[in-house]
A and B are shown apart, each in its own frame.
Chain A
Amino acid sequence: MDEALISAPAGRRRLLWLLRPSLVQLTLVRFREFWREPEAVFWVFIFPILLAAGLGIAFESRPAERLRIGVAEEALGKILAAEPSLAVEIMTPAAAEQALRRGRIVLYAATDSAGTLRLRYDDALIEARAARLLAERAAERAAGAPRRVPVADEVVHEPGSRYIDFLIPGLLGMNLMGSGMWGIGFAIVDARRKKLLKRLLAAPMSRAEYLLSFLLARLGLLLVEVFALLGFGAWVFGVPVRGALWELLLLCVLASLSFTSLGLLVASRARTIEAASGLMNFVMLPMWVFSGVFFSSERFPDTMQPFIRLLPLTAVNDALRRSMLEGAPLVSLGPQLAVIAAWLVISFITALRLFRWR
């Protein structure tokens, strides 16, 4: 018999409540189960960084790029090539048709029998409209038209306004949602399916401690998750963190707890992994699309905006961007924090009502 391992009724030690052996063991189990699942580690830590790297490189702000245009005649080609921002290629109308469709050129220029400069382009493309203006200017200049207003260019490259600066807070928000919801949802449904949940209930385990162990483990992993992604963004792309770091962390903690509660709600009844996956995706998919992860949620029509703003991920992404990019203090993020906190409270209370232990 091992005396050291026999503990007194732990409920009496109020001060050291968080060090209760059962809570410590339950939380350790959460960490172990996570680290020993290589897929989970990949999705939580590696995947967002790969995604940031890929999108960051693809949408990198490059030195002003030359716009490719097609031209019908050699003579016109020479005139338009005088404009340094245009890359000119001579091609037949048929070849141009195809090149336009494939996006290899953004505009096709030809002179018709009346001497009119005919420009073919898609006016929905900003690059095509720019090419049109440049081609027109080059043609006018060649025709001897004087410059009417003198213009001076001031070019700026400000960190915070690039796509990667927009993207990193969005990916952080998406990751907080994914790991928060999956972290608790998968583990609970798996334990229910394996009747492990029932077995734990047959032991004198505290239900509150069981659920609390998920939150504690989540907070531990959260630190690693946030610093990995922010560190990568800062180190590779120079993405700024302008607000106070502790405020940003507090925001991440609140967001993570909110998504964990949502995960608990989704997992409160499901008996199979398939059912839980379906529900998870049903809940998360609208937020991937509407909540401004990869592009601004303001692109959606005004009538949808009130609903979009009520989604937890919209509030989280909004708050993260304002804190990181604009340095907004937490006190100025009241509406977003209110939405996040409301989801936290409502899902948690509903989840406890619905929760099925067996």
Chain B
Amino acid sequence: MSHRLHDNRDPSAGRPTLYVCGLRKTYRDVVAVDGVDLEVWPGECFGLLGPNGAGKTTTIEICEGLLEPDSGTVELFGLTWKRDGAELRQRLGVQLQDTQLSERLTVEETVRLFRSFYWRGPGVEEVIRMVQLEEKRKARVGALSGGQKQRLAMACALVGDPDLLFLDEPTTGLDPQARRQLWELIGRLKREGRAVVLTTHYMEEAERLCDRVAIIDHGRIIARGTPGELIGRLGAGHVVEFSVDGSREAAPPAVLEAIEGVVAARALEGGYQLRVRELHRAVPALLEELRRRGLAVTELRTHSASLEDVFVALTGRHLRDG
């Protein structure tokens, strides 16, 4: 069932839903956003990935019309904030990072308040059903769990039947089950044909939800594409991480890269990381090499290459390290 009221109401088919060009924003002497370009197309879920402080929130808040950029262009549906602010507000759905809704209101009262700001959109009951909070309709916001609060924030973003949704770290701080529930909800919204822009520092979230992602670090976009493309660019489907007894120089990356099936090697905090094409050949060869050098393996892990590994390959840092 589709919840959309007017499909194809955007007369400018063939134009990106969100177009961002040369965006810059400086706070005193800190450059928060340093020349960001983006295009998001109708019905697409676009992910802005990066560590905390990379400039994701500043970028998204400029797009939401909450911050003024120092320079650069932002167009939504071909409209700009300066000329068409009132109309844009009606057409966007926004969920901000750590907003606390009033704890003394009920779920229904909160949704009704936000609904009253929009000219059109689904009814209060329907929005509450969309985010599966029917049972909590009469509950005070203060009594909700973290996941329920976040779904209520989604409801407030959906009351205007938006063409474009901005979600800033929608699942940060949630437990895995609540996170999965929210992913299902966002998946459903995507299937209804809404464009979604979300920021996250959870790579799994981006891989699951996003059609395309841009990896952002220190205010610049350092890679962009579909999650599959970015992982494919690593040239290796697997990642092996291990640590050994002894000094860091015991197994120099150059030696490790010479092992059969290893594409790239890198010493990280507390161990090594290899990008590997064929796991079944590389692992025995690696163990043999380490044994020959008299190094005892203390830890060995492998996983399929992910966006996290793309970030490590690009920056030499893990995402969570900030």
- Residues of A in contact with B (beta carbons under 8 Å apart): 1-2, 4-10, 21-22, 24-26, 28-29, 32-33, 36-37, 191, 194-196, 198-199, 201-205, 358
Contact = CB atoms under 8 A, between A and B. Distances in A.
Nearest to B121: A6
B192 interface: no
Given A194-B100, A196-B99, A358 B66 contact: yes
Given A1-B5, A37-B104, A202 B123 contact: no
Max chain A C-beta neighbours (<10 A), residue from B89, B115, B116: B116
Contact of B89 (A21, A33, A195, A203): A203
Contacts of B115: 5
Given A1-B123, A29-B109, A33-B102, A202 B118 contact: no
Given A2-B125, A29-B109, A201-B66, A194 B99 contact: yes
B96 A29 contact: no
Contacts of B114: 203
B113 A25 contact: yes
Interface string B94-132: 101011111011000100111111111111111000000
Contacts of A21: 116
B255 interface: no
B254 interface: no
A29 B105 contact: yes
28 contacts: A1-B5, A2-B123, A2-B124, A5-B122, A5-B124, A7-B119, A9-B119, A10-B119, A21-B116, A32-B105, A33-B104, A33-B105, A36-B104, A37-B104, A191-B102, A194-B100, A194-B101, A195-B99, A198-B96, A199-B96, A201-B66, A202-B64, A202-B89, A203-B89, A203-B118, A204-B90, A204-B117, A358-B66
Contacts of B99: 194-196, 198-199
Interface string B114-153: 1111111111111000000000000010000000000000
B30 interface: no
A309 to B, nearest CB: 40
Nearest to B88: A204
B156 interface: yes
A195 B116 contact: no
Interface of B: 3, 5, 64-66, 86, 89-90, 92, 94, 96, 98-102, 104-105, 109, 112-126, 140, 156, 160
A24 B117 CA distance: 11
Contacts of A1: 3, 5, 122-123, 126
B100 A8 contact: no
B89 A204 contact: yes
Contacts of A196: 99-102
Nearest to A4: B123
B113 A26 contact: yes
B109 A32 contact: yes
B156 A203 contact: yes
B116 A8 contact: no
B104 A202 contact: no
B105 A6 contact: no
A5 B156 contact: no
Contact of B102 (A8, A10, A29, A202): A29
A195 B96 contact: yes
Contacts of A36: 104, 140
Given A33-B102, A195-B96, A199-B96, 5 more contacts: A5-B122, A10-B119, A33-B105, A198-B96, A204-B89
B215 to A, nearest CB: 26
Max chain A C-beta neighbours (<10 A), residue from B66, B90, B92: B66
A203 B117 contact: yes
Contacts of A24: 116
Contacts of A33: 102, 104-105
A76 to B, nearest CB: 70
A198 B96 CA distance: 9
Nearest to B64: A202
